[in-house]
């Protein structure tokens, strides 16, 4: 996954080795990491800046836990400290948090993480930190117990803890953590791994914890990137070239400079066509004394654009190109058995093509970044999913050494993969460097819709061969797409397919003759990771096609899936979310949602239920959707049942929120969302023509279920989404007989019924 790629230059020094204890200026006990050569320590650092902030027990028994991951609405500022607090054994109500800045340290071998990996991508926070953060908490607890035992002249095994207290029953002693802080801080950090609790004695993990920041959010005090305000700060916007890879020929800023508050206007050079993106586009920056002045200055600019190399690009031509490619032979990326031989002798062959469009991330908070670039270093404050990438981007455009670039993450108004890329951070740094002053760059919604790393678009051709029992003997998926590794550095041409087709996905290992083939469509549209990346496309295609096969063979779609998913066993899974995939866990969820929605009940004419299920990044989900379709093709989503198995559950309220949000994201995207290109420009520009779903379109009848599994959690940020779209289109087929093979659904139903 993207996250792995982006941190690979950082060297993991072995986290345990770096834990050290210390005393804060306020007399608290602090367990953290040595600061080494890092220049950007936060003021909380104890021991003269030798420890990076991590867990602090304050003299009033309040506990402050650092959060290293960026919060984008996925709930890490709640779930990560739960892991620490559980093993530390404190009252959850006594816990507050502190967002840590980017922590990287320069070592002889390159850069190392100071607090452990920091990033939000690939649903990895909870899996990556599950053991590590509990060990941090357990180590701190162990030191507090040791301090108490020393004080009472007994051994640690005579002591136990209750939240916030160490207790020795045999001596009738108890001491608050706070009272032990100084003594604990003086102890060496114990060697070896601490014992961790059995899941059965968890008091915090598995309990519903409300959003840590909720009070700040509902009172308007929560600080997002857009809220950043620093002394002397200027405001900037950029008019980016609307043509893909176009450039500035000339511009007239005489009117723009007359706008009160406008301070400066200059060009920003984008990447050359085909080169990696540091920023997305060439354009003109306007610097002003307020956001509105900058925006007004932009309106007054006269710019002549060079339309660039993609001025002829149009969405219909994109689809024709994909169709032409599918007529040929592509890159075979997985082959099991012999598809051709099996298909040649088959009783029946079913085939279908599906289209998945480009889509925009559209986080609610448009991109923005504060940058203050000085001779000797830079301060960056940004809503970002990948702060180390921000540091790299700033180093690239300023030439500053990374150890002198301080990156702070604010809360982010959504991410969805958009903020994995730090182009807007690079832009802000370019502007600040040029004007020699602190600046906040603000994107408008139009900027955000027109300039994005869009979810890849592609045309999928599916073919299945069936024997006379209707059993699938051969299966092929052929995808012609514009992939997300486009222009990414250090990716070989033969690896471009990898983020588009996850070759171990279902039905690999189940259908014996399998072939997966990829074709690259040429396009100038920038592409990137969009929540659950290619799973959104592949779940739609595969789960729709299963229903098409069931229909063609007169079988029940649920029964067919249950048979194919088979018994409870692990299949090898080599892509992100592996190393194993147990399709039976999908069956478990499917049966659950089918029962809840009363799948077997006959519905009246115009009503139908659809099911789908998918495995994404270590987690499993299923959806059942009931729709009605009116005589003129009016679609009504009547009911949604969603179920998830994300392994062990850290925060059921958070899991439920992600399942609801993912499901609604799936619905919104399937119903209406599409980015199209006309003459080299993105056609959509704001929410009037990129129509996110509103509350009125979400059925009242909406339920979510969590079916826990085992003792390890899987991340929740992405699995809630992929299976919704095919469950919806399968329901539409059952209600109306119309098979939706192109997303978004848009007006297709009305058109099909009219025809």
Partner 1 sequence: MIRFTVNRRPVSFDGPDDTPLLWVLRDHLKLTGAKYGCGIGRCGACTVHVGGEATTACTLRVGALDGAEVLTIEGLAGPQGDLHPVQQAWLDEDVPQCGYCQPGQIMAAVDLLSRKPVPSDADIERHMSNLCRCGTYVRIRKAIHRAAGLLAGSPS
- The correct pick among 208, 216, 317, 364 for binding ligand FES (CB under 6 A) is 364
**369 phi and psi angles, rounded to 5 deg:** -165, 135
Identify which of residues 222 and 707 has a Cβ nearer to ligand FES in the complex.
222
What is the β-pairing status of strands 95-99 and 63-67?
Answer: parallel
Contact flag: residue 221 with partner 1 (CB under 8 A): yes
At 500 the three-state DSSP class reads coil
389 binds, among partner 1, ligand FES, none (CB under 5 to 8 A by kind): none
CB of 635 to partner 1, least distance (A): 16
CB of 700 to partner 1, least distance (A): 5
Show contacts with ligand FES in window 117-176 (CB under 6 A). Answer: none
Measured in whole angstroms, how far is the alpha carbon of residue 308 from the centre of its chain?
A: 32
The helix (run of H) or strand (run of E) holding residue 348 is: strand 348-356
Contact flag: residue 413 with partner 1 (CB under 8 A): yes
The helix (run of H) or strand (run of E) holding residue 679 is: none
d(CA 234, CA 290): 7
569 binds, among ligand FES, partner 1, none (CB under 5 to 8 A by kind): none
User: Alpha-carbon dihedral of residues 403, 406, 410, 415, nearest 10 degrees?
Assistant: -40
- The correct pick among 27, 110, 260, 737 for binding partner 1 (CB under 8 A) is 260
Identify which of residues 230 and 320 has a Cβ nearer to partner 1 in the complex.
230
**472 phi and psi angles, rounded to 5 deg:** -80, 120
- The correct pick among 84, 286, 409, 411 for binding partner 1 (CB under 8 A) is 411
Contact flag: residue 349 with partner 1 (CB under 8 A): no
Contact flag: residue 230 with partner 1 (CB under 8 A): no
Residue 98, strand partner residues:
66
CB of 363 to ligand FES, least distance (A): 8
Contact flag: residue 161 with partner 1 (CB under 8 A): no
Range in contact with partner 1 (rule: CB under 8 A) among 53-61, 109-117, 356-364, 708-716 = 356-364
- The tokens of 382 are what? 């940004």
213 binds, among partner 1, ligand FES, none (CB under 5 to 8 A by kind): partner 1
Task: Report the alpha-carbon angle 411-49-128, nearest 5.
Answer: 45
Contact flag: residue 214 with partner 1 (CB under 8 A): yes
CB of 95 to ligand FES, least distance (A): 22
x-marked contacts with partner 1 along 607-646 as a string, rule CB under 8 A:
----------------------------------------
- The correct pick among 21, 28, 81, 414 for binding ligand FES (CB under 6 A) is 414
Contact flag: residue 211 with partner 1 (CB under 8 A): yes
CB of 693 to ligand FES, least distance (A): 12
Residue nearest to ligand FES (CB): 364
With 0-12 CB in 10 A as exposed, 13-18 as middle and 19+ as buried, what is 699?
middle
d(CA 442, CA 226): 7
164 binds, among ligand FES, partner 1, none (CB under 5 to 8 A by kind): none
Show contacts with partner 1 in window 441-460 (CB under 8 A). Answer: 442, 444-445
CB of 66 to ligand FES, least distance (A): 24
Contact flag: residue 74 with partner 1 (CB under 8 A): yes
Contacts of 426 (CB under 8 A, 6+ apart): 278, 279, 393, 394, 396, 397
Identify which of residues 183 and 412 has a Cβ nearer to ligand FES in the complex.
412
Over its C-alpha atoms, the chain yields an Rg (Å, rounded) of 27
Q: Report the first-to-last Cα separation within the chain, whole angstroms.
A: 44
CB of 463 to ligand FES, least distance (A): 40
Tokens 């050569």 belong to 37
At 51 the three-state DSSP class reads strand
Q: Which residues of 95-117 are buried (b: 16+ CB within 10 A; e: fewer)?
A: bebebbbbbbbeeeeebbbbbbb
Binding-site size for partner 1 (CB under 8 A) equals 64
Contact flag: residue 573 with partner 1 (CB under 8 A): no
Measured in residues, the chain has a length of 755
CB of 414 to ligand FES, least distance (A): 5
Residue 355, strand partner residues:
459, 742
The helix (run of H) or strand (run of E) holding residue 160 is: strand 160-162
d(CA 107, CA 111): 6
CB of 298 to partner 1, least distance (A): 12
29 binds, among partner 1, ligand FES, none (CB under 5 to 8 A by kind): none
Task: Report the alpha-carbon angle 720-5-11, nearest 5.
Answer: 120
- The correct pick among 28, 32, 40, 73 for binding ligand FES (CB under 6 A) is 73
d(CA 167, CA 188): 21
**706 phi and psi angles, rounded to 5 deg:** -115, 125
Contact flag: residue 587 with partner 1 (CB under 8 A): no
- The correct pick among 657, 670, 727, 731 for binding partner 1 (CB under 8 A) is 657
Handedness of CA 471, 475, 481, 485 (dihedral sign): positive
Identify which of residues 365 and 452 has a Cβ nearer to partner 1 in the complex.
365
Tokens 């834990």 belong to 19
Q: Are 24 and 60 in contact (CB under 8 A)?
A: no
Site residues (vs partner 1, CB under 8 A): 71-75, 208, 210-211, 213-215, 217-224, 226-227, 229, 235, 260-261, 290-292, 296, 362-366, 411-416, 442, 444-445, 653, 657-658, 660-665, 668, 686-688, 692-696, 698, 700, 702
Site residues (vs ligand FES, CB under 6 A): 73, 364, 414
């Amino acid at each position: 996954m993207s996250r792995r790629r982006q941190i690979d230059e950082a060297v993991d020094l072995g986290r345990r080795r770096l834990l050290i204890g210390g005393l804060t200026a306020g007399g608290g006990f602090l367990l953290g990491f040595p600061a080494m050569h890092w220049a950007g320590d936060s003021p909380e650092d104890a021991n003269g800046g030798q420890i990076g902030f991590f867990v602090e027990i304050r003299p009033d028994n309040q506990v402050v836990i650092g959060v290293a991951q960026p919060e984008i609405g996925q709930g890490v500022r709640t779930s990560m400290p739960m892991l620490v607090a559980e093993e530390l054994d404190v009252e959850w109500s006594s816990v507050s948090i502190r967002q840590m800045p980017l922590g990287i340290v320069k070592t002889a071998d390159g850069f190392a993480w100071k607090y452990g990996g920091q990033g939000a991508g690939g649903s990895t926070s909870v899996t990556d930190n599950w053991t590590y953060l509990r060990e941090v908490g357990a180590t701190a607890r162990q030191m507090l117990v040791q301090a108490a035992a020393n004080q009472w002249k007994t051994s640690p095994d005579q002591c136990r803890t209750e939240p916030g207290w160490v207790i020795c029953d045999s001596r009738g002693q108890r001491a608050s953590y706070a009272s032990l802080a100084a003594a604990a801080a003086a102890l060496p950090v114990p060697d070896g791994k601490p014992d961790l609790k059995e899941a059965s004695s968890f008091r915090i993990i598995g309990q519903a914890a409300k959003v840590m920041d909720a009070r700040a959010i509902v009172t308007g005090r929560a600080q997002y990137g857009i809220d950043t305000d620093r002394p002397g700060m200027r405001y900037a916007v950029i008019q980016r070239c609307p043509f893909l890879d176009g450039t500035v020929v000339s511009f007239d800023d005489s009117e723009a400079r007359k706008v009160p508050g406008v301070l400066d206007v200059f060009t920003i050079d984008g990447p050359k066509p085909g080169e990696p993106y540091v920023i997305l586009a060439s354009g003109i920056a306007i610097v002003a004394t307020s956001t509105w002045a900058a925006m007004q200055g932009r309106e007054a600019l006269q710019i002549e654009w060079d339309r660039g190399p993609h001025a002829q690009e149009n969405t219909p031509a994109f689809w024709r190109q994909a169709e032409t490619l599918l007529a040929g032979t592509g890159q075979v990326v997985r082959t099991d058995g012999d598809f051709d031989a099996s298909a040649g002798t088959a009783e029946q062959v079913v085939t279908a093509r599906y289209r998945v469009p480009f889509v925009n991330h559209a986080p609610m908070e448009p991109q923005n970044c504060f940058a203050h670039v000085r001779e000797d270093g830079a301060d960056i404050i940004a809503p970002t999913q990948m702060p180390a990438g921000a540091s790299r981007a700033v180093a690239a455009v300023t030439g500053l050494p990374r150890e002198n670039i301080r990156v702070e993450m604010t809360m982010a108004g959504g991410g969805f993969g958009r903020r994995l890329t730090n182009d807007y951070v690079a832009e802000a740094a370019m502007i600040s460097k040029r004007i020699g002053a602190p600046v906040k760059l603000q994107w408008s919604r139009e900027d955000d819709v027109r300039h994005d790393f869009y979810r890849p678009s592609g045309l999928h051709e599916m073919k299945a061969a069936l024997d006379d029992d209707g059993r699938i003997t051969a299966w092929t998926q052929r995808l012609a797409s514009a992939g997300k590794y486009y222009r990414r550095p250090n990716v070989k041409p033969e690896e471009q397919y990898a983020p588009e087709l996850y070759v171990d996905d279902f039905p690999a290992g189940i259908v014996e003759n399998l072939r997966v083939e990829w074709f690259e469509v040429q396009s100038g549209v920038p592409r990137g990771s969009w929540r659950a990346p290619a799973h959104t496309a592949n779940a739609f295609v595969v789960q729709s096609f299963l229903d098409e096969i069931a229909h063609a063979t007169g079988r029940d779609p649920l029964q067919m899936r249950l048979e194919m998913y088979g018994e409870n066993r692990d299949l090898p899974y080599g892509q992100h979310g592996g190393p194993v995939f147990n399709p039976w866990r999908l069956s478990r969820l499917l049966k659950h949602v089918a029962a809840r929605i009363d799948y077997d009940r006959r519905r009246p004419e115009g009503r139908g239920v659809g099911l789908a299920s998918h495995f994404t990044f270590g987690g499993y989900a299923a959806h059942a959707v009931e729709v009605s379709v009116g005589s003129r093709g009016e679609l009504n989503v009547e009911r949604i049942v969603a179920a998830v198995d994300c392994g062990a559950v850290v925060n059921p309220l958070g899991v439920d929120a992600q399942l609801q949000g993912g499901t609604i994201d799936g619905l919104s995207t399937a119903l209406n969302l599409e980015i199209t290109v006309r003459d080299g420009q993105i056609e959509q520009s704001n929410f009037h023509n990129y129509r996110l779903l509103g509350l009125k379109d979400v059925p009242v009848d909406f339920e979510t279920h969590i079916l826990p599994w085992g003792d390890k959690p899987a991340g929740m940020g992405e699995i809630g989404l992929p299976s919704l779209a095919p469950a919806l289109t399968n329901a539409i087929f059952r209600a109306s007989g119309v098979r939706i093979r192109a997303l978004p659904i848009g007006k297709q139903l009305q058109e099909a019924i009219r025809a």
